[in-house]
Amino acid sequence: MAAMTSSSVGTHATRTPSPSEQQMIDDILLLYQLKPTEKAYAHYSPSAVFHDPVSIAEGLDSIRSQFNGMPKVFAESTTQKCDLLAESDANHLALNLTQKYVFKSPIPFKEKGTEKTVNSKVTLHLDGQGQVERHDEEWDWQGNKSEEDGFMGKMQQARKKIDAKVVEKGVPTDPGKV
């Protein structure tokens, strides 16, 4: 019987990752845990795209800025669960990720603010060399809106691209400068 994992939309079959898949997952989870490293970014192709409900980051430098900027917003980010879904194959790794975020406090002398736990489906689409060419994060397993979703999807897609460019301008791409 296959192992199962629960998400915000139900239960899903899982499988054990291969050693190379586990290494990629562990390295990329460091980005979510506010610990960006060159090793994690080495898994991405130079033209990779990151898409979540907040932004669409196009290119590795833009992706670096998105994750390198997270420590400016969050005091903590802890992975509570990360399971590899059985649907994963050589072309994509699909994850059931539960991440607890603790915002920095807007109140002086108070380190931590509001907490938010998010369950996401994360899909890492891989190219022929095994590098991430697209990283999709769907909060609460709800698909990301894009131009294919009509007028409002086009508006959201434009906003997300602008959001990514704003972050890219203000956050260094070097994880050593975070």
| Integer Cα distance of 74 and 111 in angstroms | 10
**pLDDT at position 110:** 83
**Residue ranges of the chain whose pLDDT lies below 70:** 1, 146-147, 149, 151-172, 177-178
Give dist(CA 98, CA 16) in Å, integer: 18
Q: Are 45 and 133 in contact (CB under 8 A)?
A: yes
pLDDT for the residue 26: 98
- pLDDT for 149: 63
Query: How would you classify residue 51: left for phi > 0, otherwise alpha for psi between -120 and 50, otherwise beta?
Result: beta
Q: What is the pLDDT of residue 109?
A: 82
Please tell me the predicted confidence (pLDDT) of residue 143.
84
pLDDT tens digits for 78-125? 999 999 999 999 999 999 999 999 999 888 888 888 999 999 999 999
β-strands 92-104, 74-84 pairing: antiparallel
Instruction: State the pLDDT at residue 31.
Output: 98
pLDDT for 107: 83
Please give the pLDDT value at position 173. Answer: 74
